[in-house]
Amino acid sequence: MIKVEQWDGGEALFRRERVQTDPEITAAVARILDDVRTRGDAALHEYTKRFDGVDVDKFQVAPEALEAAYKSLDAGFRETLRRAAENIEQFHARQVRRDYVLADRPGILLGLRHIPMERVGICVPKSPEAFPSTILMNAIPARLAGVRDILLVTPPEVSAAALGAAYIAAPGVRVYTIGGAQAVAALAYGTESVPAVDKIVGPGGVFVAEAKRQVFGQVGIDLIAGPSEILVLADASADACHVAADMLSQAEHDTHAAAVLVTDCRALAGQVAAELERQLPLLPRADIARKSLESNGKLYVADSLERAVEAANRIAPEHLELCVAEPLSLLPLIRNAGSVFLGYNAPEALGDYFAGPNHTLPTSGTARFSGPLSVDDFVKKSSFIYYTRDALNGVADRIADFAEREGLRAHARSVLVRKEESV
């Protein structure tokens, strides 16, 4: 199914399958956005009935339904949700930044404020359980940032698990049963039922991704996520069964997902290839995983572990597992990865659900310049400057000279007139 390839250090290492938005999808999303912006709730009702087959009376889920849903869950899963939420909160609480003021020069105050956004919207795609993990990973950092109003949109027929996750992630969160591009439109422009937000975060299919792209500027967005991906960097000590299982954990997402092994051990690569074939039939989503591996799966052999690290940095994967004897020694060499999983006992699923670091990660090589969703994504920064008259007069000539050199006479005069008045 996947051939073992030797990597020679060339540029043609790995070409991700990039899902290009169909022009028809782009046009369809533009129509939906414009329709919701123009007709509000009436358009939302029509699209919900057309795309979801549901005639929704009220989009917002009653607040008391969230607590009821949480209490309806079995005790074991309630405890799992609670412990996962605690881990996520503990990790993200360290990201909360403090304002600062510089007052070490006479007559001058400089500072930076961190101001939480007023209202944010979280998109949660439809699944058997509507991804309660996604709700925890997005709502908890927003709450820690100080966002006052958190809205969550997800297609109708929301599971009790999803509502329960919303209940414990952010008390007071508002849940709306709207999905697709129409949900993004409602969050961006506002309707009679849904208030407009400052930023939209969270995953979705091609319609949601395209809608986020088109409304960016009207609102902020977290990222436009591509297909999920994993790169396992392994040496001869790795267990082929575990490596294959971890690769399949991404391949089962969809046919565009990417699963890659880079190793310095050809024997291991062959064993992983055999394990993939053995384990595939065991999966309910075997057809999806097989197509994913056939399209985007790679088994690379590098000349050395150092070259394997070089390959990983070039690929800049969303998830990077270091299944090697000494993972901590390799960590300082990793420059480009969304999240790094160290050693034999840190499968990628650990980060998806429970450990604490965020699972909303950069894809398609964007880990070269971006990182995981964090508290910072829900905060805006604002600097401030205060000078006394004497302090300004002391630098007025320098500022005026700077402005004149850039050909901006009015800038120079705005400073000099104040100096002249004080003479």
Active site residues: 318-319
Residue 135 · residue 124 · CB < 8 Å: yes
Give me 234's structure tokens: 């392994």
- Secondary structure of the chain: what % helix, strand, coil (to 5)? 50, 15, 35
**CA separation for the pair 30, 367 (Å, rounded):** 29
Those residues with Cβ within 8 angstroms of residue 398's Cβ, 6 or more apart along the chain or in another chain:
none
Q: Can you read off the two tokens belonging to residue 292?
A: 């994913």
Q: What is the largest CA-CA distance in the chain?
A: 87
**Beta strands 258-263; 199-201: pairing state:** unpaired
- DSSP letter for 407, please: T
Residue with tokens 């909160």, as numbered in its chain: 89
Residue with the two structure tokens 């073992």: 4
Pairing between β-strand 174-176 and β-strand 108-116 as defined by DSSP bridges: unpaired
Count CB-CB contacts under 10 A for residue 196: 15
Is the distance from CB of 182 to CB of 48 less than 8 angstroms? yes
Contact 153, 195 (CB under 8 A): no
For residue 126, the one-letter residue type is K
Local structure of residue 385 (DSSP, 8 states):
E
Give the CA dihedral 238, 242, 248, 249, nearest 10 degrees: -110
**Which helix (DSSP H) or strand (DSSP E) does residue 64 occupy?**
helix 63-72
Q: What is the chain's length?
A: 423
Among residues 7, 27, 164, the alpha carbon closest in space to that of 82 is found at 164
DSSP, collapsed to helix, strand or coil, labels residue 181 as helix
Q: Which residues pair with 379 in a beta bridge?
A: 116
